[in-house]
Structure 1
């Protein structure tokens, strides 16, 4: 066994022979170096660099830089310690280059795209993005792919090259503020100035609605059954579901205040008018009129 391990596998020039034991030990130490670099970089970023309150995506970039630098240094040191020159792996690098050219093109494309994403930073961890019609939050930017958690809880694994080339909407790239709207319709005959004042107060009192840009109450339309108002506002959002919660809170508040002030939230209604002929027992004409007023149970329709 010892003879097999000490037997030269190949020679580099005329001066150096690489034995099986040297090659196996070098590979073993490189694997150990990779594990050590991974856990050490993870320890440095979470226990030391995290105390400086850096952004999470910056910590990920630093973690990867520390990992690759440590791996390169330990690998070169290990090979030098066992007197194995780097040229001993020239044949391996040649085989890897051929594999990259034919079978690993997509992997390398995604790997390079991942570093481009981390350097240009069009997408960061915890950003709210919209990708191919799916809204979600970025939870990881990896070497090969980016993971997006959709609003329904499902996780999307998107290749970095696809993400880099897609028409991506990043709702929180510059700041965490997102504009949204809530629509409500009131019955015809309502005091619209009073409605506007109530809606403006609701927006002003909500803690997540920001003042700059200022929220706005828009009288949108004279609809068939309602006077339609749109509430446009900007809100500070930390997660995808928070935007839905904010809109829900505002709708609860609208319903409460309108009830207190006696303002009717409109809903579609129809009044049917039948006209009977004196000589017949069946209607000769029917007229259809839409209304948004409250039905009065004490009144009868036209006969």
Structure 2
């Protein structure tokens, strides 16, 4: 067995023979170097770089860079320690590279796309994005794919190449503020000035509604059964579900405050009129019109 491991497999130049034991030791130490590099980069990222309060996606980039730097340094040092020149793997690595190049084109494409996503940062960790009609939060931007947690709790694994080329909406790219709206209809005859004042007070009291840009209250339309108001406001959100919760809170508060003020939230009704001829022998003719609750 020892003779088999020490038997030269091929020669590099005129003075150096490469045997199986050297190749096996080199592969073993490269694997150990990868594990060690992963551990060291993880520790440094948590203990040192985290003290600078960097964004989470910046920490991921630093962690990957440290991993590849440590891996390269340890690998070269190990090979030099065993007197194994890097040219010993030139033939093998060349053959592997050619075969892997054809077999893993998509993997390499996604790997490069992942680095582009992390460097250009159109999508960051914890961003709320909308991808092909799915709304969710970015959990991780990996080497091959990006993990997104949808609002229903399901996780989407999207190849980095597809995400980079897709037309997606990033709701929190610049800041965590998102604009949304709530509609409400009040009965005809209501004090519209007081309605506006109440809506302004409700928005000012909500802790997630921001003042700049200021909320906007629009008298939208004269509806069939109601005076339509629409409230536009900006809210600071940290989770996807926060936006629906904020709108729900606003509606609860509108219902409560309007009830206290005696302002009726209108809903469609119909008033039926029966018309008979003079002899009242025919069937009644039914006429209807849309009316408001207070009419």
Partner of residue 298, structure 1 = none
Partner of residue 245, structure 2 = 245
Aligned length: 295
Q: Which runs of 5+ in 2 are unaligned?
A: none
- Report the Cα offset of residue 281 of structure 1: 4.7
**In the alignment, structure 1 residue 217 sits paired with structure 2 residue 237:** no
Partner of residue 88, structure 1 = 88
Partner of residue 300, structure 1 = none
Secondary structure of 1:17's counterpart equals: strand
Moved more, 275-284 or 218-227: 275-284
Distance 1:282 1:63, change over 3 A: farther
- Report the Cα offset of residue 106 of structure 1: 0.5
- Report the Cα offset of residue 39 of structure 1: 1.3
- Report the Cα offset of residue 50 of structure 1: 1.1
Report the Cα distance in structure 2 between the residues aligned to 1:88 and 1:292, rounded to whole angstroms: 89
Partner of residue 268, structure 2 = 268
Question: 1:46-61 alignment to 2 at 5 Å?
Answer: 46-61=46-61
Report the Cα distance in structure 1 between the residues aligned to 2:241 and 2:214, rounded to whole angstroms: 23
- Report the Cα offset of residue 70 of structure 1: 0.4
Report the Cα distance in structure 2 between the residues aligned to 1:222 and 1:37, rounded to whole angstroms: 68
Secondary structure of 2:48's counterpart equals: helix
Report the Cα distance in structure 1 between the residues aligned to 2:50 and 2:215, rounded to whole angstroms: 36
**In the alignment, structure 1 residue 104 sits paired with structure 2 residue 104:** yes
Report the Cα distance in structure 1 between the residues aligned to 2:241 and 2:81, rounded to whole angstroms: 55
Partner of residue 20, structure 2 = 20
- Give RMSD over aligned pairs: 1.3
Instruction: Indicate conservation of the 8 Å contact 1:274/1:283, yes or no.
Output: no
**In the alignment, structure 1 residue 63 sits paired with structure 2 residue 68:** no
Partner of residue 42, structure 1 = 42
Q: Deviations over 1:257-290 (max 9, x none)?
A: 0000011111121111111224245544221111
Secondary structure of 2:289's counterpart equals: strand
Question: 1:63-212 alignment to 2 at 5 Å?
Answer: 63-212=63-212
Instruction: Indicate conservation of the 8 Å contact 1:100/1:108, yes or no.
Output: no
Provide TM-score, normalisation by structure 2.
0.97
Q: Which runs of 5+ in 1 are unaligned?
A: 296-303
- Report the Cα offset of residue 51 of structure 1: 1.8
